[in-house]
A and B are shown apart, each in its own frame.
Chain A
Amino acid sequence: MGLFEKPKSIWSILNSRPITFYTSSFPLEKVGSSFFHGERFTSRPLTGEGAMASHTFLSLLLFYFYTFHLVHPIHCSVGSNAFDTTSAPQEEFSEELLLKPLPDYKVLAHFHFTSTSPPSSSNGQHHHLFPKSIAQLVKKYKIRELELSFTQGRWNYDRWGASDPLSTANGKPPGVELWALFDIPTKEEIDATWRNLTHSLSGLFCASINFLESSTSYSAPLWGFLPNNGDLRYGALPREAVCTENITPWLKLLPCRDKAGIASLLDRPSIYRGHYHSQRLKLRSDGLNGIVIEQTLSVVLQPIDRTSWSMHQLFKKSLMGKCALAKSSKVFLEIERSLVSQNENILELVGEADMVTNDQRDHSTIYQYNVERYSEHEALDIRVNWKKLLQVSFLQTPLHASRFLMGSGNERGSIAISLQSARNSTKGLYDNSKNCFTRVVIFQVVPWYVKVYYHTLRIYVDGAIRDAKDVVEKINVTPSEDKVSPGTLEMMLQFPCGMMSAALTLDFDKGFLHIDEYPPDANQGFDIPSALVSFPDFISRRIYPDSISSPLLQSYKGRNIVKSYTEVLLVPLTTPDFSMPYNVITFTCTVLALYFGSMVNVLRRRVSEEERLAKSKDKRKPGLIPLLISKISNKVRGIKEDSANQSQSSQPILGPKVVFKVVLIALIAVLGHYFFNSS
């Protein structure tokens, strides 16, 4: 397991990527020497001029390669090493930033970094741009697909949009969410691998992802989250904190870290001040394309001045050129069509874009800025001015989902999921104009201590209770098992098109935990992870002309199902007074002591014997010795009393003498003490 340590120092970063541009001397030397290692070794036994000649030849060669590397650092170090044939696929890295004004005058900044590594057979275990730690992870755990997200805040589906590709991809549940698809045949092996994976990721990303290790915290959904053959594992930690320590290792996976390029904009206080913050790592691996990792960071920021903002104001940093190792480095500004009304432009852009395009269905306009045109002398700073404030909202999901708790007390309650039809969603925009049913898939995982009774499922459509058979098309329930596994609910529902609202309720009992299982802040309550509500009939995609080559916009083209996460639920459980165990211990001890005391008494005490002894004592006369002792004791008492009387009476006579003696001794003592101390 020791393979996967997080890349803590710059040296480990350098070691993992031998050729980097901005730290040229050390890694280049390394490459050069390793290349000639074999020849050098063979030249050692040579003597005299031959050795000299071979050495000069070698050093010349080395010099040649050094200069070659230094003069054309980008051309030969980007991608694969210089000795490769050009036809082989190479490692690539691209960085992008998409800025999008939101209707409530906030700004969404979406950072997108893509690294690709060709199938491992082509260049073995060596990587130039691709993070080695991730490649090792994929290889070791046979991961086909993995997504890890760290989120703080909740994506506001009402205002920030719900059915465009960016929101579908951006909306993530608060805390940590991790899911992975494995290329492993048996269930047991997958579980074991998952456990190791969580530990590795926990070390890699400075987070407590290892809490997903226990079988009570992860589940294996079959189709509710993502259709699969049982090789998917899903886990969420709703209360995981997200802060600088998580982004530090995440940035270290980038070839330029945050020293150059778009990532240099990431000023920690600015990005963590945002209303929503989601940092993700998504990786796909297959034999054809090798490994592709997408690192994205979405932040929703509130500009200080609502009507006018610029990149510099948002991030408090300037974008001064691209990361030299990036194949492409672009900044996009996406303006939703709904923000720009037909007759007048309420937005004004300052700065000239390199390219302006609309998507195929004219939902949005993209302004493209190529970062390589900018430098330290001329930083890229996109400025947007709002001419008029307008209340608009972006495309909504067909049904707006929210989840809440019902009931009171610490014994039982119920979970309700409510689905409200979004009035402004226009059906014609979507793919399902012919179908008169809206399909909804609900996936939720509930920890075992919330014991859900799935038979109590009630479904209301437009306020009237409906038979579950009429609405539920498909259902898969994995009931929870105490302290072993969580309860998983996957449910596909079919609602009529004209429906305005629907609600589902499920009753539950609250369980009791063992005293050791309570977290330190148990009084705060326990979190139930977000449920996922997806709409398989609705696809979010945006197609842009092929003239823009961008991994970010390419990902928009995919057929992404519209989905939204619900709120995290906070369930207060009965929390014991944690001093109770001590009370119990003291009580138990008292009872035990009493019990054993009386037991010993009963067993050891011989009543008849004692009675006999007592009788014989009465019979016997007091012996000589006891008599003597009593006499002496009486005498002593008498003398004592006498002496006490004497001293009391003689005190006034002896008083001054005694006092004098005491004072004298005290004086001598003090003097002696002083003398000894001073000497």
Chain B
Amino acid sequence: MASDPMGSQLRRILSIFFSLSIILPLSSPSPTMHNNNWAVLVCTSRFWFNYRHMANTLSLYRTVKRLGIPDERIILMLADDMACNARNNYPAQVFNNENHQLNLYGDNVEVDYRGYEVTVENFLRVLTGRHEASVPRSKHLLSDEGSHILLYMTGHGGNEFLKFQDTEELQSHDLADAVKQMKEKNRFKELLIMVDTCQAATLFSQLQSPGVVTIGSSMKGENSYSHHLDPDVGVSVVDRFTFYTLAFFERLDMYSNASLNSLFTSYDPTLLMSTAYYRTDLYERPLNMVPVTNFFGSVMKTIPTDSAYPGFLVAHASEYAAISAETETARVVLEDEADHSKTYDQSEKGLQHTLDEWLKLLEGKLGVKDPEVLVAYGLGSMVLLLTISTWLSS
């Protein structure tokens, strides 16, 4: 009878070990799951002749709203009022095309920072989350370690800086420091910075934080140009880079699987009159595996957890491990679903299924109190794991 408690203990340890061996290699690339999306859209230019910058930002605002990011997760900063500007012939309307098909201002726009509030200080405060106590929640970027953040900026810039309101500059060091601070505070999981200014690429030169992917409209020494002028509004209404970004997104809906790579390679330097530059050395995932909706859309699938309090489950560690293994596989499958092609996905699923079956079999066999059988099965599972791992790595 003395062997019985020993056996049960061994069984428990083994089952934990097996389930852990399933979890660990799968969960190691991302400790937290991507579970929410945020967008920070900034127009830094004041004055009427910079109408196009506001139109750029509002176009992106409309796009991310259309692709599923709710208004309370969008921080919209507009440096001037163009829609109700006295010079605007179309009050409460902003267009990004001379055909006037689409009123970007819509009926339900919510601007979080506007006018004189759009300063470098406020911008950095939004990113780093260091606000005064009285600042309302709607002006906070309440992201966490599972957030994917889209940061879009447009305005006038130069070598390693972006002008705010024609008076101050955001330097590439400032941006890099803010992003670094965000990373340390676990304010994002992945961050996409998209900048449409002259010499946009130089703004990214100081970034060091992992998980950041950047795209700029032009290289060092290049200008970014406006796309076309609207004779009715009287000024240029959209920039080239944003125009072709929108052209890409107009074809998509929130269920599309287009990858970031297809977006980044869609820019034609002859149409842009500048070279779109993207920096991916800080980003682990291959770009062709990342759907654009990871940044421009919102997480739509919710995964129910078994308990809000993990402490509650410690008493049933083995059950918890088995359950979490299952949910973890489910998660991985979910993530893969978006990333990989269907066939690959299915084979993966099948593999997970057989593994589960094997585990169940193991659980059953563990009831047998013969140590030799146990060892044999253990060895068998080791061999299986080895072959699978070598097959996966090849």
Of A5, A213, A268, the contact of B137 (CB 8 Å cutoff): A5
- CB distance B72 to A248 under 8 Å? no
Stretch at the interface among A193-201, A462-470, A619-627: A193-201
Q: How far is the CB of A178 from chain B (nearest CB, A)?
A: 15
Of B90, B92, B114, B136, the contact of A5 (CB 8 Å cutoff): B136
- CB distance B70 to A9 under 8 Å? yes
Question: Is B109 located at the chain interface by the 8 A CB criterion?
Answer: yes
CB-CB under 8 A from B167, the residues of chain A are 518, 520, 578
Report B96-138 CB contacts with A as 1/0, cut-off 8 Å. Answer: 0000000101111111101111000000000000001111111
- CB distance A241 to B84 under 8 Å? yes
- CB distance A269 to B136 under 8 Å? no
B residues 148-167 touching A (CB-CB < 8 Å): 165-167
CB-CB under 8 A from A258, the residues of chain B are 107
Of A195, A202, A208, A269, the contact of B90 (CB 8 Å cutoff): A269
CB-CB under 8 A from B114, the residues of chain A are 206-208, 241, 245
Question: Is A203 located at the chain interface by the 8 A CB criterion?
Answer: yes
CB-CB under 8 A from A242, the residues of chain B are 84
- CB distance A211 to B116 under 8 Å? yes
The distance in angstroms between the C-alpha atoms of A151 and B303, with both chains bound, is: 47
The distance in angstroms between the C-alpha atoms of A272 and B105, with both chains bound, is: 12
Question: Is B269 located at the chain interface by the 8 A CB criterion?
Answer: no
The distance in angstroms between the C-alpha atoms of A518 and B119, with both chains bound, is: 13
- CB distance B116 to A268 under 8 Å? no
Question: Is A295 located at the chain interface by the 8 A CB criterion?
Answer: no
Are A521 and B108 CB-contacts (below 8 A) given A9-B72, A195-B134? no
Question: Is A204 located at the chain interface by the 8 A CB criterion?
Answer: yes
Question: Is B230 located at the chain interface by the 8 A CB criterion?
Answer: no
Q: How far is the CB of B116 from chain A (nearest CB, A)?
A: 6
CB-CB under 8 A from B83, the residues of chain A are 243-244, 272
Of A4, A207, A244, A273, the contact of B107 (CB 8 Å cutoff): A244
Q: Who on chain A is nearest to B132 by CB?
A: A199
The distance in angstroms between the C-alpha atoms of A301 and B135, with both chains bound, is: 36
CB-CB under 8 A from B110, the residues of chain A are 6, 8, 206, 245, 248-249
Question: Is B81 located at the chain interface by the 8 A CB criterion?
Answer: yes
CB-CB under 8 A from A46, the residues of chain B are none
Q: How far is the CB of A481 from chain B (nearest CB, A)?
A: 23
B residues 42-85 touching A (CB-CB < 8 Å): 46-47, 70-72, 81, 83-85
A residues 640-675 touching B (CB-CB < 8 Å): none
Q: How far is the CB of B44 from chain A (nearest CB, A)?
A: 10
Question: Is B227 located at the chain interface by the 8 A CB criterion?
Answer: no
- CB distance A244 to B109 under 8 Å? yes
Of B81, B107, B111, the contact of A268 (CB 8 Å cutoff): B107
Report A240-277 CB contacts with B as 1/0, cut-off 8 Å. Answer: 11111100110000000010000000001101110000
CB-CB under 8 A from A269, the residues of chain B are 90-93, 103
CB-CB under 8 A from B117, the residues of chain A are 208, 210-211
Question: Is A428 located at the chain interface by the 8 A CB criterion?
Answer: no
- CB distance A272 to B84 under 8 Å? yes
Are A203 and B137 CB-contacts (below 8 A) given A8-B72, A241-B114, A243-B83? yes
The distance in angstroms between the C-alpha atoms of A196 and B115, with both chains bound, is: 20
Q: How far is the CB of B197 from chain A (nearest CB, A)?
A: 17
CB-CB under 8 A from B106, the residues of chain A are 244
The distance in angstroms between the C-alpha atoms of A272 and B165, with both chains bound, is: 25
Question: Is B139 located at the chain interface by the 8 A CB criterion?
Answer: yes
Question: Is A38 located at the chain interface by the 8 A CB criterion?
Answer: no
Question: Is A1 located at the chain interface by the 8 A CB criterion?
Answer: yes
- CB distance A248 to B115 under 8 Å? no
The distance in angstroms between the C-alpha atoms of A258 and B106, with both chains bound, is: 13
Question: Is A12 located at the chain interface by the 8 A CB criterion?
Answer: yes
The distance in angstroms between the C-alpha atoms of A1 and B136, with both chains bound, is: 6
Report B205-231 CB contacts with A as 1/0, cut-off 8 Å. Answer: 000000000000000000000000000
- CB distance A520 to B138 under 8 Å? no
Question: Is A545 located at the chain interface by the 8 A CB criterion?
Answer: no
Q: How far is the CB of B25 from chain A (nearest CB, A)?
A: 38
CB-CB under 8 A from B72, the residues of chain A are 5, 8-9, 12
Are A248 and B137 CB-contacts (below 8 A) given A269-B92, A272-B91? no
Question: Is A287 located at the chain interface by the 8 A CB criterion?
Answer: no
Q: Who on chain B is nearest to A198 by CB?
A: B134
CB-CB under 8 A from A597, the residues of chain B are none
Question: Is A519 located at the chain interface by the 8 A CB criterion?
Answer: yes
- CB distance B46 to A520 under 8 Å? yes
Q: How far is the CB of A360 from chain B (nearest CB, A)?
A: 39
CB-CB under 8 A from B166, the residues of chain A are 520
A residues 199-245 touching B (CB-CB < 8 Å): 199-200, 202-204, 206-208, 210-211, 213, 240-245
CB-CB under 8 A from A117, the residues of chain B are none
Question: Is A2 located at the chain interface by the 8 A CB criterion?
Answer: yes
CB-CB under 8 A from B85, the residues of chain A are 241
Q: How far is the CB of A10 from chain B (nearest CB, A)?
A: 9
CB-CB under 8 A from B71, the residues of chain A are 8-9
Report A493-528 CB contacts with B as 1/0, cut-off 8 Å. Answer: 000000000000000000000000011110000000
CB-CB under 8 A from A196, the residues of chain B are 134
- CB distance A521 to B91 under 8 Å? no
CB-CB under 8 A from A248, the residues of chain B are 107-110
CB-CB under 8 A from B136, the residues of chain A are 1-2, 4-6, 199-200, 202-204
5 additional contacts (CB under 8 A) given A4-B137, A12-B72 = A1-B133, A203-B135, A243-B83, A243-B92, A520-B116
Which chain A residues have a beta carbon within 8 Å of chain B's beta carbons? 1-2, 4-6, 8-9, 12, 152, 195-196, 199-200, 202-204, 206-208, 210-211, 213, 240-245, 248-249, 258, 268-269, 271-273, 518-521, 578
Sampled A-B contacts (24; CB under 8 Å): A5-B137, A8-B72, A9-B70, A195-B134, A199-B136, A203-B136, A203-B137, A203-B138, A206-B112, A208-B116, A208-B117, A210-B117, A240-B115, A241-B114, A242-B84, A243-B84, A244-B83, A244-B84, A268-B105, A268-B107, A271-B92, A272-B83, A520-B116, A578-B167
Which chain B residues have a beta carbon within 8 Å of chain A's beta carbons? 46-47, 70-72, 81, 83-85, 90-93, 103, 105-112, 114-117, 132-139, 165-167
